[in-house]
Structure 1
Amino acid sequence: MTAHDRQSVARTDGDSVPDSSRAWQELTADYEQARAREDSLDRLVEWPAERDMLGDVSGRSILDLGCGNGGKLAELLRDGAVDCAGVDVAGNFITPPPTGAELIRGDLSDPESLPELRGRTFDRILFLQSFGYAKDPVHTLRAARSMLNRDGFILLTRTQPIRYAVERAEQNGTTVGEEYFSTADYTYRTGWNDHIALTKRTYTMSDLLNVFSAAGLWIETADEPRLSAEAARRYPHKQAWMNKYLGILIFKLRPLAPRS
């Protein structure tokens, strides 16, 4: 993976849909419906771990880049966050919008260029499974870093790269090692809507760490969340999926101190 982590979207019938915003206008409702299910890994694993790493948000301003319908931002506002904003390319937001947040339809790739965000800074900036859609990951992280208040941090989650390697090895009849280091694009069905597939440039852990470094960020904390024992007993099919594909990575990123 280079700094220009590409992503395109295509229908599974072969018709090209190069504009990701068009696809997400169709996918958003399906994604939010899947996320709300009782056995959703977002509900069981991802959001609890993300929320734990965010800590106390009372009095904190938050920018959620790739906020989906804005539901998580609304929850953070209920927990005491203030002066928040969310950006999503689909623009299919909850109504009415939560008090204390501005929900903006736009591309997360260049947040400082959005008129609604120009000149604003935040205590917390979130990329919750949205960072893979940045057209230039290093540029996007540098822009986010410039929008942080003093002592602020970026919370960023990404799919485990091993997941894509395992899936492609199964699909292509190859090995995990071959696919982990392959630079070929990977097309897969999301599971939210069988009629739409996403095509992504995969990445390795070193790719991801080098992007953080190039953006002037260091990792304060990292996590690889797992199902609780109770959830694993209650949803064995989800534990089986986690055993095979591992889930997500969570990073708390802070700006590097300028050299004296």
Structure 2
Amino acid sequence: MSTELPLYDTPDFFTAYQRMRADGDGLNEELEQPALRALLPQVTGLDVLDLGCGDGGQAEWLASAGARSVLGVDPSTRMLALARGRAHPCLRYLQATAEELTLPQASLDLVVSSLALHYVPDLPALLARIAQWLRPGGHLVYSVEHPVCTAQQPMNGWLERPEGKVWPVTAYGDESARTQRWFDTDVTKYHYKLSTHVGALCSAGLILRALDEPQPGPDALVRRPDLAAHLIRPPLLLVAARKPCSP
């Protein structure tokens, strides 16, 4: 395992991130989680991997929804300490990065990842490994920051123009690391084109089931008027794929 401190183990970053989640100021509750769950298959009786499980909230939900087993994997000691406070007989956790994780072939029915794969430096290689972990007919569902958001280098965000806010899309074709200042911390993410997401799935032998680019609806805007900026461009990309039932 890398000796570098995982991002979410940095004390100030961890505290600020937990405050954001507790206050409901992120995109998880209003956009990402509803969209992701809408793409999931029926989880009853499935063996599931939650890759980048964070504090275990999603893993606990999968277990409570009837999964036969749920393995939550995350590199952060602090996040896993929170996750292990969520007890369920079919739920267990493992500390590892996505890059170093090894699992038996054809051992899973579902792999889920919530806003974690944009931290992976070689997404196509990981998707190929996930395809090997899935049983025939198994599913992969994941969310990442949208490629129009990660394209900027550095990821500086909105620009103010006389006509209002605009989101610049620059260096879209340069698939490489990006830097972003988030909670007073320099964060590294990786930019991949939409075509790379789809092409990597196909190369891994998976079948694309759905793409989603959720944006706030009227009810969400009533609860969170600040989300209106995300009507200008989609903040998230969600992908659902399936392994063929036979070669």
Please indicate the TM-score interval, normalised by the length of the shorter structure.
0.7 to 0.9
Q: How does 1:118-137 map to 2 (within 5 A)?
A: 118=104, 121-137=107-123
Contact 2:128 2:201 in 1 (8 A): no
Q: In structure 2, what is the Cα distance between the partners aligned to 1:215 and 1:29?
A: 38
What letter matches 1:255 in structure 2?
A: K
Q: Secondary structure at the match of 2:215?
A: coil
TM-score by length of 2: 0.81
Q: How does 1:12-161 map to 2 (within 5 A)?
A: 21-26=5-10, 27-91=13-77, 92-93=79-80, 94-99=83-88, 100-112=90-102, 117-118=103-104, 121-161=107-147
* Alpha-carbon RMSD: 2.8
2:239 is equivalent to residue 244 of structure 1:
no
**Any unmatched runs of 5+ in structure 2?**
162-166
**Counterpart for residue 196 of structure 2:** 207
Which secondary structure state, in structure 2, belongs to the residue aligned with residue 179 of structure 1? coil
- The aligned length equals 232
> Is residue 160–residue 248 contact of structure 1 (8 Å, CA) maintained in 2?
yes
> Distance between the aligned counterparts of 1:81 and 1:201, measured in 2?
31
Normalized against structure 1, the TM-score is what?
0.77
Unaligned runs of 5+ in 1: 1-17
3-state SS, counterpart of residue 187 of structure 2: strand
Q: Distance in 2 between matches of 1:118 and 1:29?
A: 35
Over the matched positions of the two proteins, sequence identity in percent amounts to 24
Identify which of structures 1 and 2 has the higher relative contact order when contacts are C-alpha pairs closer than 8 Å and 6+ apart: 1
Listed one character per residue, the Cα deviations across residues 199-255 of structure 1 (whole Å, up to 9, x for unaligned) are: 334232222222222222221111111223111122111122x12341111111123
Residue deviations 1:54-97 (CA, integer Å, cap 9, x gap): 14322222101111111111112112122110100013222434
Query: Structure 1 204/239 Cα, relative in aligned 2: closer, same or farther at 3 Å?
Result: same
Instruction: Report the Cα offset of residue 45 of structure 1.
Output: 0.8
Which residue number corresponds to residue 230 of structure 1? 219
